[in-house]
Amino acid sequence: MAKLFNRAKMSVSGTPGTGTITLGSAAVGFQSFAAAGVANNDVVSYVIEDGAEWEIGQGTYTSSGTTLARTTVLASSNAGNKISVTSTAIVFLSVLASDISTASIGYAIDGGGAAIATGIAGTGIRAPFACTINSVTLLADVTGSIVIDIWKDTYANFPPTVADTICASAKPTISSGVKSEDTTLTGWTKTIAAGDVLYFNVDSCTAITNVSVILNVTRN
């Protein structure tokens, strides 16, 4: 994912054509890439406007010489290829959908001051968007142990059951600690459709009275 920055728009020095752009001065009312916080070798999302021609992509900024290498063109007026940039073009930083595609889905399980009881915790949540799970994190209030299973089914088939587990044998687990993270998700069903219902079932718990389950996801 490219880094995000505020209000940076610059002119073009020379005539780079389809090559690396040497950046000129900041446009009126905007700041330079460097002033916006872009550092050497940062990957940024850019837009080039040159008359009726345009290009959207991701590029690598170099502070020495103040250049922008057009690494990946995502769309353009030249059938998705690099446009031939002239000295009248402007280049500015933008936010692409892919830059804000990561999100978290969280669920809190509270034992009401006692160790969390086993079984289904609450009434679950409904996924607000389609996504793919990248990792799962557990954060507990006190040192202890807990194993949580996650069940998923469509709204039409509500409620989910144990047959709808997405965790296989790699259930989110804290063992004598206060936190855990799993980025491997061995055997997991990682895809979630918009509107799917997620249930959280506590298989076992010792000492922990409150825990947060956080699914780190990428929007589809």
As a whole number of angstroms, the distance between CA 188 and CA 170 comes to: 7
Structural domain containing residue 170: 103-219
Sequential DSSP letters for 15-43: --BTSPEEEEEEPTTSB-TTTTT--TT-E
104-127 pLDDT, tens digit each:
999 999 999 999 999 999 999 999
Q: How many CB atoms lie within 10 A of CB 72?
A: 12
Task: Give the model's confidence band at 3: pLDDT under 50 very low, under 70 low, under 90 confident, else very high.
Answer: low
Q: How many CA atoms lie within 13 A of 186 on its CB side?
A: 2
pLDDT of residue 219: 86
Residue 158 has pLDDT above 60, yes or no: yes
- The answer to whether position 209 is within a domain reads yes
Distance between CA atoms of residues 55 and 78, nearest Å: 8
In this structure, what are the phi and psi dihedrals at residue 83, rounded to the nearest 5 degrees?
Answer: -90, 160
Instruction: State the burial class of residue 135 (Cβ atoms within 10 Å of its Cβ: 0-12, 13-18, 19+).
Output: middle
Using pLDDT thresholds of 50, 70 and 90, give the confidence band for residue 4.
low
Q: What is the pLDDT of residue 5?
A: 64
- Residue 212 in any domain: the answer is yes
- 44 with 127, same domain? no
Q: Report, as an integer, the average pLDDT of 11-36.
A: 94
pLDDT of 96: 77
Residue 1 in any domain: the answer is no
Domain count, the chain: 2
In this prediction, residue 169 carries a pLDDT of 96
Report yes or no on 89 lying in a domain.
yes
Q: What token pair was written down for 83?
A: 């446009």
Is 2 within a domain? no
Overall pTM surpassing 0.75 (yes/no)? no
Same domain for 164 and 208: yes
Give a yes or no: residue 143 inside a domain. Answer: yes
Structural domain ending residue among the three candidates 67, 84, 99: 99
Q: Identify whether residues 25 and 62 lie together within a single domain.
A: yes
What pLDDT is recorded for position 99? 74
Q: Is residue 108 part of a domain?
A: yes
Residue 70 has pLDDT above 60, yes or no: yes
Instruction: Please report the pLDDT score of residue 123 as a whole number.
Output: 93
Q: Is residue 4 part of a domain?
A: no
> How are beta strands 43-50 and 21-26 bridged, if at all?
unpaired
pLDDT of residue 58: 93
Task: Look over the chain and give the mean of its residue pLDDT values, rounded to a whole number.
Answer: 94
Instruction: Tell me, yes or no, whether 110 and 87 share the same domain.
Output: no
Kind of pairing between the strands at 53-62 and 43-50: antiparallel
pLDDT 10s digits, 39-51: 999 999 999 999 9
Rounded Cα–Cα distance for residues 44 and 60 (Å): 6
List the single range of 1-15, 169-183, 205-219 with lowest mean pLDDT: 1-15
Q: Residue 171 CA to chain centroid, in angstroms?
A: 23
Please compute the mean of the pLDDT values over residues 149-168 and round it to a whole number. 97
